[in-house]
């Protein structure tokens, strides 16, 4: 039997490579003769670089850049064998980098993400995949642009400080110092959301609360992004703030689309393409995928749904093993999932489940494989 392991990370507890390792242990408890292929995946958020590098090959580059609060953090990006840079904005500007008591989208910045792009340009990269999930920011990508040479001025000609809370002061954007290599480059933004920049479905209203924004802060951030979009419209004579995906990563999607001329694509589709997932699925007898929590949202571009659809195309059985199963998880059946399981083996707290994730995955995978093996003789 050929088994393909293609899980996403279990956020906050285990990266996708670790999930693969635990799944493999569980399988080998049943039989060491099973042929296992590990192909960890991601959908553009945390873990995207590791997943692509592990599955497709390449090198991982580490840089010291500005974190969401401006302090220095060690961030990373990947360079594939064909020279394409894979930027994971979460590694420089991610929510997990900010302690819960310091999360404030009025002040967080995407500057470090721009520094990663600058580093990749210095290494000769001119093709970019930018994963834009898991952000701590709501600055419309202004910080990224500042790192790349753009200058933001207020009415008095003074530079504007980083953070979405300062965008209401913006009256002019000077692109004359923008890194010219940007215009020689091609960008693809990998995202799993299609929100516009502003409004009730925009970056601030939908994702601001996840970043610790109060209702008043959401109001300020949305108003500031709308003002920012107006200034940008005056430069390009075009309003792209309503573009699907412009609101991704606190508006970073907007900056990528407008200033870097990026094409926005579904993150899981990009990852599956780069890692040649279709060939791996075709050559497998069984596919195992999963994530931290599977519910109705998984159907909207999350990694397991992408794997399920691909497996369905080739009539391959696919099992989704996740940390938890929430409302609407059975919607995955119509997308191609054969069965879905939670790793939990008894009533337990989220804390305990996250602490014991690896062991729980291993044990549940063993249980599942014992059942399958009984019918695969």
In whole angstroms, give the CA distance from residue 58 to residue 349: 39
In whole angstroms, give the CA distance from residue 4 to residue 284: 6
Q: Do β-strands 293-294 and 35-38 pair in parallel, antiparallel, or remain unpaired?
A: unpaired
Indicate if 36 and 93 belong to the same structural domain.
no
C-beta separation of 55 from 63 below 8 A: no
Q: How many residues does the chain have?
A: 377
Indicate if 257 and 297 belong to the same structural domain.
no
Domain span including residue 228: 48-268
Q: What is the pLDDT of residue 54?
A: 84
Indicate if 198 and 226 belong to the same structural domain.
yes
Domain containing residue 37: CATH number = 3.40.50.10350
| Final residue before a domain boundary, out of 268, 286, 314 | 268
Q: What is the pLDDT of residue 377?
A: 66
> How many alpha carbons fall within 13 Å on the CB side of residue 130?
37
Indicate if 102 and 194 belong to the same structural domain.
yes
Indicate if 58 and 28 belong to the same structural domain.
no
Indicate if 103 and 37 belong to the same structural domain.
no
Indicate if 106 and 8 belong to the same structural domain.
no
| Residue 324, strand partner residues | 293
Indicate if 166 and 57 belong to the same structural domain.
yes
Rounded to the nearest 10°, the torsion over CA 53, 250, 307, 271 is -30
- 3-class secondary structure for 251-314? HHHHHHHHHCCCEEEEHHHHHHHHCCHHHHHHCCCEEEECCCEECHHHHCCCHHHHHHHHHHHC
Q: What is the pLDDT of residue 350?
A: 80
Q: What is the pLDDT of residue 11?
A: 81
How buried is 100 (Cβ within 10 angstroms: 0-12 exposed, 13-18 middle, 19+ buried)?
exposed
Q: Which residues lie closer than 8 Å to 205 by C-beta, 6 or more apart? A: 199, 218, 222
In whole angstroms, give the CA distance from residue 146 to residue 190: 21
Q: What is the pLDDT of residue 133?
A: 86
Instruction: Quote the distance between the C-alpha of residue 15 and its chain's center.
Output: 13
229 secondary structure, DSSP code: H
Indicate if 102 and 27 belong to the same structural domain.
no
Q: Which residues lie closer than 8 Å to 99 by C-beta, 6 or more apart? A: none
| Final residue before a domain boundary, out of 214, 234, 268 | 268
Joined tokens for residue 366: 């063993």
Residue closest to 296 by CA, chosen among 330, 262, 253: 330
Indicate if 122 and 155 belong to the same structural domain.
yes
Phi-psi region of 298 (alpha: psi -120 to 50; beta: other; left: phi over 0): alpha
Joined tokens for residue 215: 């209702």
Q: Which residues lie closer than 8 Å to 56 by C-beta, 6 or more apart? A: 80, 81, 274, 275, 276
Residue closest to 15 by CA, chosen among 96, 83, 79: 96
Longest dimension (CA), the chain: 78
Q: Do β-strands 85-88 and 72-80 pair in parallel, antiparallel, or remain unpaired?
A: antiparallel
Instruction: Quote the distance between the C-alpha of residue 71 and its chain's center.
Output: 22
Task: Work out how many domains the chain is built from and give that number.
Answer: 2
Mean pLDDT per 10-residue section of the chain, whose length is 377 residues = 94 88 97 93 85 88 97 96 95 94 96 98 97 94 97 95 94 96 96 89 93 96 97 93 93 96 91 92 97 88 91 97 94 96 87 88 96 83
Q: What is the pLDDT of residue 191?
A: 87
In whole angstroms, give the CA distance from residue 17 to residue 163: 33
Indicate if 228 and 286 belong to the same structural domain.
no
| Final residue before a domain boundary, out of 268, 294, 311 | 268
Instruction: Quote the distance between the C-alpha of residue 102 and its chain's center.
Output: 22
Indicate if 30 and 170 belong to the same structural domain.
no
Q: How many of the other CB atoms lie within 10 Å of CB of 239?
A: 13
33 secondary structure, DSSP code: T
Domain containing residue 211: CATH number = 3.90.1510.10
């Amino acid at each position: 039997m050929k088994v393909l392991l293609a899980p996403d990370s279990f956020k906050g507890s285990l990266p996708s490579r670790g999930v693969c390792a635990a799944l493999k242990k569980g399988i080998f408890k049943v039989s060491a003769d099973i042929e296992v292929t590990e192909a960890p995946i991601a959908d553009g958020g945390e873990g995207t670089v590791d997943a692509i590098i592990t599955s497709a090959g390449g090198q991982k580059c580490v840089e010291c850049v500005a974190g969401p609060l401006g302090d220095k953090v060690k961030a990373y990006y990947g360079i594939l064998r064909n020279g394409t840079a894979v930027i994971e904005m979460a590694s420089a500007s991610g929510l997990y980098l900010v302690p819960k008591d310091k999360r404030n989208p009025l002040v967080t910045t995407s500057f470090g993400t721009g520094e990663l792009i600058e580093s990749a340009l210095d290494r000769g990269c001119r093709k970019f995949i930018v994963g834009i999930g898991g952000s701590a920011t709501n600055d419309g990508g202004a910080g990224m642009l500042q790192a790349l040479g753009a200058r933001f001025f207020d009415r008095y000609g003074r530079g504007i400080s980083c953070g979405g809370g300062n965008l209401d002061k913006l009256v002019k954007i000077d692109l004359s110092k923008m890194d010219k290599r940007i215009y020689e480059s091609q960008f693809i933004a990998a995202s799993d959301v299609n929100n516009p920049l502003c409004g009730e479905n925009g970056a601030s209203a939908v994702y601001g609360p996840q970043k610790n924004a109060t209702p008043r802060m959401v109001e300020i951030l949305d108003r500031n992004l709308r003002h920012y979009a107006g200034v940008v419209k005056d430069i390009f004579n075009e309003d792209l703030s309503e573009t699907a995906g412009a609101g991704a990563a606190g508006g970073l999607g907007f900056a990528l689309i407008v200033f870097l001329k990026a094409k926005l694509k579904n993150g899981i589709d990009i990852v599956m393409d780069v890692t040649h997932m279709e060939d791996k699925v075709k050559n497998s007898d069984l596919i195992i995928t999963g994530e931290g929590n599977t519910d109705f949202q998984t159907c909207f571009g999350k990694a397991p749904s992408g794997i399920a659809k691909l497996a369905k195309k080739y009539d391959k059985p696919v099992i989704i093993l996740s940390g938890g199963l929430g409302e609407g998880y059975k919607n995955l059946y119509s997308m191609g999932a054969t069965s879905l399981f939670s790793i939990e083996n008894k009533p337990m707290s989220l804390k305990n489940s996250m602490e014991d994730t690896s062991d729980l995955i291993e044990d549940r995978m063993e249980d599942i494989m014992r059942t399958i093996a009984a019918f695969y003789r």
